[in-house]
A and B are shown apart, each in its own frame.
Chain A
Amino acid sequence: GAVVSQHPSWVICKSGTSVKIECRSLDFQATTMFWYRQFPKQSLMLMATSNEGSKATYEQGVEKDKFLINHASLTLSTLTVTSAHPEDSSFYICSAREGAYNEKLFFGSGTQLSVL
């Protein structure tokens, strides 16, 4: 089955630094990728939709200048948390869709970010 690789699995950083998270589709081309944020034992909250070759669409309340998304190729999307603060500590998950009209999403294994 299709695989989405997310890296790193966990990262600890100092407050004020930037962190980049990668999401790769390994055996299919993902025209659309999604980035979610999840707090412990809570649901996934969609942060943004990333389309290859165009600007990401951010959900209401998500700062686009803080959470930079780049989807430069059909197999890679990156999320950069800029000037991270402790309140940015969370579990970040990406998902990818093959084709524009495929309802099945493939999820990465997530990245646990801890900002000290």
Chain B
Amino acid sequence: TQLLEQSPQFLSIQEGENLTVYCNSSSVFSSLQWYRQEPGEGPVLLVTVVTGGEVKKLKRLTFQFGDARKDSSLHITAAQPGDTGLYLCAGRFGTAGGGNKLTFGTGTQLKVEL
């Protein structure tokens, strides 16, 4: 069973601060996704990364896929209260093409205060 460890598990910061969330595995991902989930809702897809070393930006969010495709990071610049939520990485292992199930990371609960 593949495990995706996220760190930190909890993060409470002030508005305007920067933060980075990490997602690590001992296995190689065929692809990796980041989701954000609010209480009582399903996860919402933020990004999908496929190529080792890939960097994608979504407004104040920067996603990086490790060169070896075993790790990923999510960096948020100038965090806002609206960024509060549970951030989940999710990876597929094995051959690409979507035939594999998605394994979710352990989650990072982010709280951004005024």
Contact = CB atoms under 8 A, between A and B. Distances in A.
Interface of A: 4, 6, 9, 34, 36, 41-46, 49, 60, 91, 93, 95, 97, 99-105, 107-110, 112
Contacts of A102: 98
Nearest to B50: A103
A95 B98 CA distance: 14
B29 to A, nearest CB: 12
Contacts of B103: 46
22 contacts: A4-B42, A6-B42, A36-B104, A41-B107, A42-B107, A43-B107, A46-B102, A60-B1, A91-B40, A95-B42, A97-B98, A100-B99, A101-B97, A102-B98, A103-B31, A103-B96, A103-B97, A105-B102, A109-B42, A110-B41, A110-B42, A112-B40
A100 B33 CA distance: 18
A45 B90 CA distance: 11
Contacts of A91: 40
Interface range for B? 20 to 34
Contacts of B92: 103
Contacts of B1: 60
Contact of A49 (B33, B101, B104, B107): B101
Given A34-B102, A104-B48, A107-B43, 8 more contacts: A9-B40, A34-B101, A43-B106, A44-B43, A46-B104, A103-B92, A103-B97, A105-B45
B42 A108 contact: yes
**Chain B interface mostly:** loop
Interface of B: 1, 31, 33, 40-45, 48, 86, 88, 92, 96-99, 101-107, 109
Contacts of A34: 101-102
Nearest to B105: A43
Nearest to A99: B98
Contacts of A110: 40-42
A49 to B, nearest CB: 6
Contacts of A104: 45, 48
Nearest to B43: A107
Contacts of A97: 98
